[in-house]
Amino acid sequence: MMSVSVCRVAHFNAAHRLYNKAWDFEKNQAVFGKCNNPNYHGHNYKLEVWVTGNIDPETGYVIDLGLLKSMIETEVENRFDHKNLNEDTIEFKDLNPTAENIAMVIWNRLNAKLKDDLSLRVRLYETERNIVEYAGH
Amino acid sequence: MMSVSVCRVAHFNAAHRLYNKAWDFEKNQAVFGKCNNPNYHGHNYKLEVWVTGNIDPETGYVIDLGLLKSMIETEVENRFDHKNLNEDTIEFKDLNPTAENIAMVIWNRLNAKLKDDLSLRVRLYETERNIVEYAGH
Amino acid sequence: MMSVSVCRVAHFNAAHRLYNKAWDFEKNQAVFGKCNNPNYHGHNYKLEVWVTGNIDPETGYVIDLGLLKSMIETEVENRFDHKNLNEDTIEFKDLNPTAENIAMVIWNRLNAKLKDDLSLRVRLYETERNIVEYAGH
Amino acid sequence: MMSVSVCRVAHFNAAHRLYNKAWDFEKNQAVFGKCNNPNYHGHNYKLEVWVTGNIDPETGYVIDLGLLKSMIETEVENRFDHKNLNEDTIEFKDLNPTAENIAMVIWNRLNAKLKDDLSLRVRLYETERNIVEYAGH
Amino acid sequence: MMSVSVCRVAHFNAAHRLYNKAWDFEKNQAVFGKCNNPNYHGHNYKLEVWVTGNIDPETGYVIDLGLLKSMIETEVENRFDHKNLNEDTIEFKDLNPTAENIAMVIWNRLNAKLKDDLSLRVRLYETERNIVEYAGH
Amino acid sequence: MMSVSVCRVAHFNAAHRLYNKAWDFEKNQAVFGKCNNPNYHGHNYKLEVWVTGNIDPETGYVIDLGLLKSMIETEVENRFDHKNLNEDTIEFKDLNPTAENIAMVIWNRLNAKLKDDLSLRVRLYETERNIVEYAGH
């Protein structure tokens, strides 16, 4: 059978601060610069969720994008939209919310909900110029 | 030799309806929802056609993008632009015109015209938030 | 008081056919070309709804964009999204669904719901390259 | 002489919380919903700064866009980028940082630096779907 | 009758150099910086052509966008696309090809072809961040 | 360890002419058409630089995007922005500046500066519709 990838795009707006709790302020400032602002800054995150699998001959779908949209709402938007990632979420209580780590957390949450015969890749735009991508390996 | 990918972007605007002729209206409605509107709805499809191959040392081209543009006009735009995919095309007479199936049909049409030493990948945006990709395997 | 404009963006995907019922097919074909396809074609319409008024000093809002979003859902998206404009709507039963006429219909529907001290302008993208704008006068 | 408008686009990423200090939490929650998160959320703000005036016949410029870019860096980006608007800025210490109010603050700061024969309009994108515009009157 | 604005978007790719022939190189370098490169640089120009007028009740059009597209091809694209504005065009032989001046030249060319009951506005994107707009007054 | 890709986007605006010095004008015109204009034309090039590697557990970064931004400024923007690629650069003195060749030159320059445990892929947009991608093999 033929393998096709499908993508659903979503957005969430969140505050965050980049820092390593094991370091003092000076070292955090040297490494993370203005991203280390103790009062936080924020972003409009754009998320692409790519799912790869076979086309179901009855529906013509790899996965119902309405179902994928709901899954993203439950696993990503409801948890992270209009939140402070450092303060309001369990995932980033002890994990630095860099775009890389956010993408990995999102991949892990979504992949746990996907059927085994589907593979997953997520792309996260922190800004129009800073992007990350993770496929689970 | 080095392998490079090049892409030409195209657009076509079409009407379609998603349904499985083997199912009754209720089942189609349950699966396809508002996409099952018997009077059709429509989209501005955006198509990326990616061709991978070696750079010709005389031209500096993998493929002349003007040639690729013409190929897309003949194989895709002239057939599907301002058409009703279900009613006006042979390809979707008995094939549900989901984005997945449209991408596969386009890939098959274009690949038949490409030289053997070039490989092909197509990405189709049904909307800004619903995207599919197919590379022929 | 100072006057500020605010905008909410929405989308709807619809099928349509451009033709004048008073003309024969040949004249319609001469004027509307491929847009006159009797089986319809379709578009992803992008809509910008701009509302101008004073800032409420208590909220800092001209209008609650959540309220405006709901108004657009009720007056525009629920009526036109995934519809055949010619066949499924009262508005375009006898009105040619050009982008100009769609913009005027949307303006009239939304303006009827807005408070008198707010002024309205709508911009409608039929494609990325064809856009119309209407402000009610 | 002929009047032309020129625009420079800029960006800043900031955290904010929408609330009225004169109201209790319940009323703020009813009016501002998830935007009232006490731990803040954030956005990538995109700013268009439009300046209108006559073309200088010697340069062909209304205003040197390099100069306008520097002015935006000084008056907007250096003050608001990677900041918490509520906590880190004087402007929003007692002013709710809605998009409307942010646009007015930016307009006032920039207009104070522009020559009298130039007029100013600012457009601020809080998200791709929420936009405001202010021209000083 | 009601007045509506319609827009057609076009593109052209051109080389140019910004300088004032009456000045020496040092003064040009001080004013135009890297834009004064004697060997030229270049841009993808994006052009929005906005036409305002009444809707023709028979067609539902302010102006046939296919006609407007042809007019832009003749008056703008065929003259400026893949050209060196300073070297290959009459218009900029003695006029500095700033975005402001290019917009005025385009407006004058297009306006001469438009019927008197239509008004014209052009917006020219030199880059995503540098934009100009001209409406003839 | 898990491998993540990160991307930084950059831009440069340049003039170029496509031609093969070993061919006469007629043959160049037949192959390169309007891109063979002896006076050059130009583009706004958009560049995506993708770097793949493991996440550093202390920073949460694959690579500091500020560092990658500086590397792109030094290796790409300072060399090619506001330049005539054929006339002002060593790289394209004897190499036809097609998008394919520009992408390879950029890849080679950037890859020479990257640590060995990181892999590199560049995507270059010559226009919104013409794109190339190169990953070094």
> Which chains have 3 or more CB–CB distances shorter than 8 Å to chain B?
A, C, F
Residues of E in contact with F35 (CB under 8 A): 82
8 Å CB contact of E59 and C104: no
Three-state secondary structure readout of B45-110: EEEEEEEEEECCCCCCCCCCHHHHHHHHHHHHHHHHCCEEHHHHCCCCCCCCCCHHHHHHHHHHHH
- pLDDT at position D1: 57
Name the nearest CA neighbour of D65 among E100, B88, C78, A131.
Answer: E100
CA distance C11 to B130: 13
C130 touches chain B (CB under 8 A): no
Shortest Cα distance, chain B CAs vs residue A7, angstroms: 5
pLDDT tens-digit series, residues F16-47: 999 999 999 999 999 999 999 999 999 999 99
8 Å CB contact of B55 and F101: yes
8 Å CB contact of B88 and C37: yes
- How many other β-carbons are positioned within 10 Å of the β-carbon of residue D115? 8
Confidence of residue B137 (pLDDT cuts 50, 70, 90): confident
CA distance D44 to A48: 17
Tell me, what's the ipTM?
0.96
F88 touches chain E (CB under 8 A): yes
Shortest Cα distance, chain C CAs vs residue B5, angstroms: 26
Residue matched to tokens 């190929």: B71
| Closest CB from E18, E129, E137 relative to D3 | E137
Average pLDDT over residues E43-61: 97
Residue matched to tokens 């070292």: A27
Residue matched to tokens 């209580």: A93
What one-character DSSP code corresponds to residue E97?
A: -
| Of B11, B41, B82, B87, catalytic | B82
Q: Are the C-beta atoms of residues C84 and B35 closer than 8 Å to each other?
A: no
Residue matched to tokens 């309205």: C120
CA distance C74 to C59: 24
Shortest Cα distance, chain A CAs vs residue B57, angstroms: 33
Average pLDDT over residues B65-91: 98
- pLDDT at position E4: 98
3-state secondary structure of F136: coil
Distance from the first to the final alpha carbon of chain D: 24
Residues of E in contact with C98 (CB under 8 A): 55, 59-61
Share of chain B above pLDDT 70, in %: 99
* CB-count burial class (<10 Å; 0-12, 13-18, 19+) for E119: middle
Shortest Cα distance, chain D CAs vs residue A83, angstroms: 5
Q: Which amino acid is at C92?
A: F
The pTM of the full predicted model, rounded to 2 decimals, is 0.97
8 Å CB contact of C137 and E60: no
3-state secondary structure of E121: strand
CA–CA–CA angle B106, B108, B113 (5° rounding)? 100
- Does residue B2 have a pLDDT over 80? no
Confidence of residue D137 (pLDDT cuts 50, 70, 90): confident
8 Å CB contact of A7 and B132: yes
B77 touches chain C (CB under 8 A): no
Q: Are the C-beta atoms of residues D81 and D12 closer than 8 Å to each other?
A: yes
Pick the CATH number of C3-134 from 3.40.605.10, 3.30.479.10, 3.40.50.1440, 3.10.20.600: 3.30.479.10
- Does residue A20 have a pLDDT over 70? yes
Distances (CA, A) of F134 to A125, B9, B51, F68: 21, 18, 12, 18
Computed over every residue of chain B, the mean pLDDT equals 97
Q: Which residues pair with B16 in a beta bridge?
A: B41
H-run or E-run covering E123: strand E119-125
Q: Are the C-beta atoms of residues A17 and A66 closer than 8 Å to each other?
A: no
Residue matched to tokens 């499908």: A6
- pLDDT at position C137: 86
| Closest CB from A95, A99, A104 relative to F2 | A104
Residues of D in contact with A44 (CB under 8 A): 42-44, 127-128
Q: How many CB pairs under 8 A join B and C?
A: 79
pLDDT tens-digit series, residues E79-132: 999 999 999 999 999 999 999 999 999 999 999 999 999 999 999 999 999 999
CA–CA–CA angle E23, E24, E27 (5° rounding)? 80
Q: How many CB pairs under 8 A join C and E?
A: 58
CA distance D51 to D111: 10
Distances (CA, A) of E97 to C135, E15, E25, E89, E90: 34, 10, 17, 10, 11
Residue B44 Ramachandran class (φ > 0 left, ψ -120 to 50 alpha, else beta): beta
Share of chain F above pLDDT 70, in %: 99
Residues of B in contact with C13 (CB under 8 A): 41-43, 127
Give phi and psi for E37, each to the nearest 5: -50, 120
pLDDT tens-digit series, residues A106-137: 999 999 999 999 999 999 999 999 999 999 98
CA distance F44 to F14: 7
Q: Are the C-beta atoms of residues D13 and D45 closer than 8 Å to each other?
A: yes
8 Å CB contact of F4 and A133: yes
Shortest Cα distance, chain D CAs vs residue A113, angstroms: 26
Q: Are the C-beta atoms of residues D73 and D8 closer than 8 Å to each other?
A: no
pLDDT tens-digit series, residues C46-103: 999 999 999 999 999 999 999 999 999 999 999 999 999 999 999 999 999 999 999 9
Q: Which amino acid is at F17?
A: R
Confidence of residue F1 (pLDDT cuts 50, 70, 90): low
- pLDDT at position E137: 86
Average pLDDT over residues E34-47: 98
Rg (chain C; Cα; Å): 17
C1 touches chain D (CB under 8 A): no
- Does residue E1 have a pLDDT over 80? no
CA distance D83 to D105: 15
- Does residue A1 have a pLDDT over 70? no
CA distance D9 to E4: 28
- How many other β-carbons are positioned within 10 Å of the β-carbon of residue D43? 25
Shortest Cα distance, chain E CAs vs residue C74, angstroms: 24
Residues 6 or more apart whose CB falls under 8 angstroms from that of E24 comprise: none
C27 touches chain B (CB under 8 A): no
Average pLDDT over residues A31-46: 98
- Does residue F59 have a pLDDT over 80? yes
Q: Please tell me which residue of chain F has the smallest CA distance to E36.
A: F82
Q: How many CB pairs under 8 A join A and D?
A: 79
Residues 6 or more apart whose CB falls under 8 angstroms from that of E104 comprise: D2, D4, D55, E134
pLDDT tens-digit series, residues C2-49: 799 999 999 999 999 999 999 999 999 999 999 999 999 999 999 999
CA distance E121 to E108: 10
A67 touches chain B (CB under 8 A): no
CA distance F60 to F67: 15
Rg (chain F; Cα; Å): 17
CA distance F41 to F15: 5
3-state secondary structure of F37: coil
Total residue count of chain A as it appears in this document: 137
F79 touches chain E (CB under 8 A): no
